[in-house]
Amino acid sequence: MKKTILIYGLSLAVLVFLLEYFEYRYFVHELSTEVFVFFIALIFTGLGLWAGKKLTNQTKIESPPFEQNEKAIRYLKISERELEVLELVAQGLSNKQISDKLFVSVNTTKTHLSHLYEKLDVKRRTQAVEKAKSLNLIE
Amino acid sequence: MKKTILIYGLSLAVLVFLLEYFEYRYFVHELSTEVFVFFIALIFTGLGLWAGKKLTNQTKIESPPFEQNEKAIRYLKISERELEVLELVAQGLSNKQISDKLFVSVNTTKTHLSHLYEKLDVKRRTQAVEKAKSLNLIE
DNA sequence: TCAGGCGTCACCCGAAAGTATGATTTTGCA
DNA sequence: TGCAAAATCATACTTTCGGGTGACGCCTGA
């Protein structure tokens, strides 16, 4: 980001300098002002395109990692443990497998899930996963 | 896309015309060439940025739609009906709801699902959805 | 200090999901 | 036309889920 802006600024300065230099020394008598302006326009359009690409690319790499995540989780009052269970459910694990992974009993997992269903306002685990993903709670 | 290019071209033409017009008539004696070039650079950088944004946005809307979809489905020998069931499962519907939606009995839905599990090499519906999405079979 | 949230666990029960097997009809293709 | 795959349904059985209820210890903030 900073680098992009820096490069853009430098290019701008250098180009302005060069163009003026050549304008004064050689071109002004041979080329019309239209052509001069055209080249400047062309070059800076290119620079704009390049800078735009850089900037949008960066925001596209930086933005995907959640945002609403935390906010929504807090709003829904979903606890740490519940979120862990939710993530494992989303991976397609059974209650038993989740329980083993978290070193708790199946009953505990089921309790967490019940609370999750209530908070997410769903009835089944598949719906919970669906909703959680759409809310960017997980993945 | 075409519209973007058209607008860009028109803006370019109009600006070049205007700038030259003003340059000759009024500015050339009051403003330095540096300032003139600066404004042109600024304006065309903006145009470049704008055009770039438009173009990248379009490619981002056009590219996502599946590719491996069909190929993978054929490879896994997943039938029409099975795919329908799979999609409904991914939406979090129960076997009963799916059956009602497809006007078949719950047993039929379960049969389709069994076949799906076998073809996808999974044991549960949540895993099936997980795998199907990662293979771009659905969504 | 006490209420309330969190995490843990248990038991019960009914519903949903999944397995296994077999049968019939439809359909596409050789 | 005939066969294989697909689609349909059924019956029976097992496993997993999910709901409801209650309980216990821990920690935190009022």
Nearest CA-CA partner of A19 in A38, A46, A3: A38
Whether B112 CB is under 7 Å from strand D: yes
- Ranges of chain B with pLDDT below 50: 2, 57-63, 66
3-state secondary structure of B14: helix
Contacts of A42 in chain B (CB under 8 A): 44
Per residue in A35-93, pLDDT tens? 566 666 676 666 666 665 555 544 434 445 546 578 889 999 999 999 999 999 999 99
Report the mean per-residue pLDDT for chain B: 75
> 59-118 in A: which are within 8 Å (CB) of B?
89-94
Interior/surface letters B65-81, b for 16+ CB within 10 angstroms, e for the rest: eeeeeeeebeebebeee
pLDDT at B10: 63
Any residues with CB less than 8 A from the CB of B121 and at least 6 apart, and which?
Answer: B131
Nearest CA-CA partner of A112 in A137, A87, A75: A87
Residue in B23, B47, B89 closest to A126 by CB: B89
Report the mean per-residue pLDDT for chain A: 75
How far apart CA B65 and CA B61 sit, in angstroms, is: 9
Asked if A45's CB is within 8 angstroms of B48's CB, the reply is yes
> 14-33 in B: which are within 8 Å (CB) of A?
15-16, 19-20, 23, 33
Q: Distance, angstroms, CA B84 to C1' D3?
A: 27
How far apart CA A132 and CA A46 sit, in angstroms, is: 42
Q: Retrieve residue B37's tokens.
A: 């070039």
Percent with pLDDT over 70 in chain A: 51
Positions on chain D within 7 A of a protein C-beta: 5-12, 16-23
